[in-house]
Amino acid sequence: MTVTKQITFPQNFIWGAATAAYQIEGAWDEDGAGESIWDRFSHTEGKVHEEHCGDTACDHYHRWQDDLDLMQSLNLRAYRFSIAWPRVLPDGRGAVNLAGLDYYDRLVDGLLARGIRPFVTLYHWDLPQALEDTGGWPARSTAEAFVEYADVVSRRLGDRVTDWITHNEPWCTAFLGHMFGVHAPGHRDAAKTAATVHHTLLSHGWAVPVLRRNSPGARVGIVLNPVDVTPATQSQADLQAAVLQDGLMNRLFLDPLYGRNYPADVVAYVEQQGATFKSVQPGDLEAVAAPTDFLGINMYSRAVVSAADAPDGKPMVTDKDVERTEMGWEVYPPALYNLLCRLYFDYKPASLIIAENGASYSDGPDETGRVVDTRRLRYIRDHLAQARRAMDAGVPLKGYFVWSLMDNFEWSFGYSQRFGIVWVDYDTQQRIPKDSAFWYRDVITNNGFDLI
């Protein structure tokens, strides 16, 4: 006998999909857009898989109306996208490029006309190259520039956008971009990494009141990529490695955001690496801890940490015999439950959203044109079930955004990894909703699903 369990969500649960500007827009140099650090990085030989770049990507910059129609047909209630800072301020600061602002203005209106609620991310990694040239995130002036940018965008869109996200995954900005060199701008420097942690958080905190002023009644938050960390064994060494990993990936960001200062053990570790948190000035920590309306989390996997492979700030899956996506990331849905409970009961954010969750599988169209991506469907389903479990435990989870609406430029992996619930043929730019997209549409319609 098959036992079916019904998983249902509250009436006002926010069902969405997420993207980011550089990953889908293309048109990198059109209508007055400035160069971003991702343009520079991907145009530099040897940085991205097979020299792929976002010059054209999904050509969403030109196809946005069709893409919005597609979202509507999938019944999406919300859409999380990011704004390309260099489209709006080509030099990072100063002169505003109205054509860039107009583009996002039309996009927001197009969403609202289709009944889709916009969630705007201000920084999803495409810093204007001009600001990198004056020191980038390791420079305090970039945090000041971010606030000016947040001001310009929210003055224009603040009457219609009610949900604002300052940063996407500052851990990636800091560590992937400044420590491991695998993301733009490609530095490998502990001092720059520490300064970037502080300046991204500071720019977030400074921007919160600006967004509130320009967008009255709006909800403001930040999106992190916290990880459910488990020691590989109960040995003292593995336990210590897990504590440090949790410190580097989770507490380093969450503690200051929730008014607890930078964690002493992580600061000590960073100092051993020859870096410091000397970029912290009086008043900064109060600014960073500005109260927010939600904490967004991006969740894909977990980290099983052993002393042998830690600490380097990277999630390590040490168990060889586990199910993995094509990114090599372990599929472990209970980590979402663990993470949501830990974050809520430890930090008490006003509310939470899952701002990204999804899986890379390359299943493409079969001879009939259908994309049978059963593994992705199961991945999303099993994570949603864990999200619901966390809600039953008392976590105020308000929404879920699948990553991603469509296949796109997956940063250093180029187009080799497909996360979309919609297939993209990069030669023709044809979009084909995969089975997971139709399933997700029905989940939204029914506000739930059957778990068989």
Binding to ligand FCB (CB under 6 A) within 8-27 occurs at 20, 23
Residue 72 makes CB contacts below 8 A (sequence gap 6+) with 114, 115, 116
* Secondary structure E strands in 134-266: 163-168, 219-224, 229-231
Do the beta carbons of residue 254 and residue 226 sit within 8 Å? yes
Phi, psi of 294 (to 5 degrees): -155, 155
Binding to ligand FCB (CB under 6 A) within 251-270 occurs at none
Of positions 356, 377, 401, 415, contacts ligand FCB by CB under 6 A = 356
- Please report whether residue 250 would count as binding ligand FCB according to CB under 6 A: no
Stretch that binds ligand FCB, among 60-68, 167-175, 209-217, 431-439 (CB under 6 A): 167-175
Residue 271 annotated in active site:
no
Distance CA 388, CA 146 (A): 35
- Please report whether residue 225 would count as binding ligand FCB according to CB under 6 A: yes
Binding characters for ligand FCB, 295-314, by CB under 6 A (x = yes): ---x----------------
Angle between helices 264-272 and 236-246 (to 10 degrees): 100
Set 25, 169, 330, 410: catalytic member: 169
- Please report whether residue 166 would count as binding ligand FCB according to CB under 6 A: no
Stretch that binds ligand FCB, among 67-75, 166-174, 182-190, 366-374 (CB under 6 A): 166-174
User: In terms of CB distance, is 21 or 280 closer to ligand FCB?
Assistant: 21
- Please report whether residue 67 would count as binding ligand FCB according to CB under 6 A: no
User: In terms of CB distance, is 87 or 124 closer to ligand FCB?
Assistant: 124
Of positions 411, 415, 423, 439, contacts ligand FCB by CB under 6 A = 411
Q: State in angstroms the smallest separation of the CB of 54 from ligand FCB.
A: 12
- Please report whether residue 169 would count as binding ligand FCB according to CB under 6 A: yes
User: In terms of CB distance, is 36 or 168 closer to ligand FCB?
Assistant: 168
CA nearest neighbour of 175 among 270, 242, 51, 92:
270
| HSE toward the beta carbon, residue 370, CA cutoff 13 A | 7
Secondary element (H or E) of residue 6: strand 5-8
Of positions 38, 403, 423, 439, contacts ligand FCB by CB under 6 A = 403
Distance CA 396, CA 353 (A): 9
Of positions 64, 123, 419, 439, contacts ligand FCB by CB under 6 A = 419
What does the DSSP assignment read for 113-155?
A: HTT-EEEEEEESS--BHHHHHTT-TTSHHHHHHHHHHHHHHHH
CA nearest neighbour of 410 among 300, 268, 262:
300
Distance CA 27, CA 35 (A): 11
User: In terms of CB distance, is 253 or 277 closer to ligand FCB?
Assistant: 253
Q: Is 166 left (phi over 0), alpha (psi -120 to 50) or beta?
A: alpha
Set 25, 35, 330, 356: catalytic member: 356
Residue 356 annotated in active site:
yes
Q: State in angstroms the smallest separation of the CB of 358 from ligand FCB.
A: 7
Binding to ligand FCB (CB under 6 A) within 371-400 occurs at none
Do the beta carbons of residue 38 and residue 28 sit within 8 Å? no
**What is the set of active-site residues?**
169, 356
Question: Under the rule (CB under 6 A), what is the footprint of ligand FCB?
Answer: 20, 23, 168-169, 172, 225, 298, 356, 403, 410-411, 419
